[in-house]
Structure 1
Amino acid sequence: MLTSNQAHGMTYAEAAREITARLAQGVDGTVAAGAIQLAIEAWQCLAGTDLAWDRYGLELLDVRARLYSDLDDVVVDAGAPVRDDVETRLAVTTMLEQLARYHDRRAGDDREDLARRLSHDAGAQQLRRAVAALV
């Protein structure tokens, strides 16, 4: 995860890109939890600027409740998004697309029980709906 020293002074978009890169490297539940936390922060800061953020937020809250309730203590130390602009949306959607791929990998892992694999599959679909709301 990003330590305070690594993330100090990072903008929201920089932190999202760093998490996206780390997610692409493999299966890491802590980094995935950081992605959800950062994605929800965008919703909390930008809701009200466009109804798309409301649709986005509903999908994320369900994914967090179902798949990340045991990782609520993960924190990404980075600046909050300050405006709903192209850079912010691109950073968020790219990160969520990578997070959806992470859940696809988890859904295909036969070491997990069926119910958990189905939850990961549903999570991946919801993350893609959240992305679609913003594009």
Structure 2
Amino acid sequence: MEFVEATSALTARLAAGNDDLAAAGAICLAVEAWKHLAGEDTAWDRFGLEILNVRSTFYTHYDDVVVDTTVPTTASTHIRDAVRELVSQLARYHDHRALDADSALSERLDHDAAAQQLRRAVAALA
């Protein structure tokens, strides 16, 4: 599957509902984009700092999640837009989790912080 196609599929899954596996896949693709595009543009470096922090807080137990896709090799506008949309949707996922009244306050605050970090990551690519 092509990278942009994979980001679109995961964006749609996240938009459809509370999908923890899609969220893990989204963080996986975001990290892959950062790993392959950092250095070309400092925006990707700033993006990566935010993404890595969210990954270390929420996604370490999903290390075995792999999205079978090509890797981006150049930072085209099309790839940047796809990654921004994916991470924006992931931020909305964490916003939703932050409002879950069945979760402990500390967990809700962690999700709120993650959503803010993800929005900063998106802003770095704007």
Verify: 1:125 aligned to 2:116, yes or no.
yes
Question: Structure 1: which 4+ aligned runs deviate by more than 3 Å?
Answer: none
Q: Which residue of 2 aligns with 1:5?
A: none
Deviation per residue, 1:66-121 (Å, 9 max, x gap): 01111111110000012101100010000000000000000000111111111100
User: What TM-score, normalized to structure 1?
Assistant: 0.92
Q: Which residue of 2 aligns with 1:69?
A: 60
* Selected match of 1:107 from 69, 89, 98: 98
Gaps of 5+ in 1: 1-9
* Selected match of 2:88 from 89, 92, 97: 97
Matched residue SS, 2:44? helix
Give the C-alpha shift of residue 27 in structure 1.
0.5
Identity %: 57
User: What TM-score, normalized to structure 2?
Assistant: 0.98
Query: Residue type matched to 2:107 in 1?
Result: R
Query: Residue type matched to 1:31 in 2?
Result: A
Give the C-alpha shift of residue 122 in structure 1.
0.4
Q: Which residue of 2 aligns with 1:58?
A: 49
